[in-house]
Amino acid sequence: VPKVSQEHLEARREQILDGARQAFADHGYEGATVARLEEATGLSRGAIFHYFGSKQDLFVELAWHTNRRLGDILLERGLDDAVRAIAAESPAWLGVLIEAQTKLRHDPEFMRKMEIREAESSRLLGWFDERQADGSLRSDIPSAELGRYATAVINGLALRVVAHDPFDIEAFVRLLNDALAPR
């Protein structure tokens, strides 16, 4: 048995994720067939499914990557940069994310896999809690609702990005800030 380094395994995983993200973005969730995933990653189905159990697992991993990255930006650089990051995302990738999440909402297996990742949302809620406690966010509305509203603004903006509809990102940032600011 050849010895495979941890680095090699990681690099291979990244190669699969990058290729698959492109295939999903280009062809949609259904359209990203196993043959297209092979082509986009440059690897055989055997190799792909050695690292990820199924196409759905691969997609869930990618969706979670995007959510996690956005959460990291919120925690490290604040809400304004998180909103700006959405504006800079690939429209095609955001499109398949939204398409899949609306389409697969009736698939209990998919929803279960996504929910396992939902520890993420308590991390984000914590951010709104702390900002409310230190007086930088309004306190007349529960912090959970502030977080839900901010998430809705981000998702609504994502839909604009997907549709290639115009917007002024700095106007969005100001309007969201003013909504959440202490009264």
Query: Residue 142 CB, nearest distance to its own copies (Å)?
Result: 7
52: enclosing H helix or E strand: none
Query: Residue 138 CB, nearest distance to its own copies (Å)?
Result: 8
Complete DSSP assignment for 119-174: HHHHHHHHHHHHHHHTTSS-SSS-HHHHHHHHHHHHHHHHHHHHTT----HHHHHH
Distances (CA, A) of 150 to 20, 31, 80, 88, 122: 29, 32, 10, 17, 14
x/- contact string, 70-89, with its own copies (CB under 8 A)?
--------------------
Residue 181 backbone zone (phi > 0: left; psi -120 to 50: alpha; other: beta) = beta
| 29 and 103 Cβ atoms separated by less than 8 Å | yes
126 near its own copies (CB under 8 A): no
| CB closer to its own copies out of 52 and 110 | 110
Which among 14-22, 42-50, 51-59, 159-167 is the span making contact with its own copies, rule CB under 8 A? 159-167
| CB closer to its own copies out of 109 and 168 | 168
- Interface positions with its own copies (CB under 8 A): 28, 30, 95-96, 98-99, 101-103, 105, 141-142, 145-146, 148-149, 151-157, 159-160, 162-168, 171-172, 174-176, 178-180, 183
